[in-house]
Amino acid sequence: MLARREHSHLELSQKLTDYPPDEVAEALAKLQKQDYQSDKRFAADFVQMRFRQGKGKVLIQQHLKQKGIDDFNFKNYDFFALAKSIRLRKYGKTPPENYQEKSKQQRFLQSRGNFLFIFALIFY
Q: 83 or 11, which is more confident?
A: 11
pLDDT tens digits, residue range 14-35? 999 999 999 999 999 999 999 9
pLDDT above 90: residue 12: yes
Q: Which residue has the higher pLDDT, 69 or 113?
A: 69
Q: Are 56 and 116 in contact (CB under 8 A)?
A: yes
Question: Per-residue pLDDT averaged across 100-121, rounded?
Answer: 75
Q: Which of 99, 101, 39 is nearest to 72 (CA)?
A: 39
Q: Could you tell me if 114 and 53 are in contact, meaning their C-beta atoms sit under 8 angstroms apart?
A: no
What's the mean per-residue pLDDT of the chain? 88
Q: Is 117 exposed, middle or buried (0-12, 13-18, 19+ CB in 10 A)?
A: buried
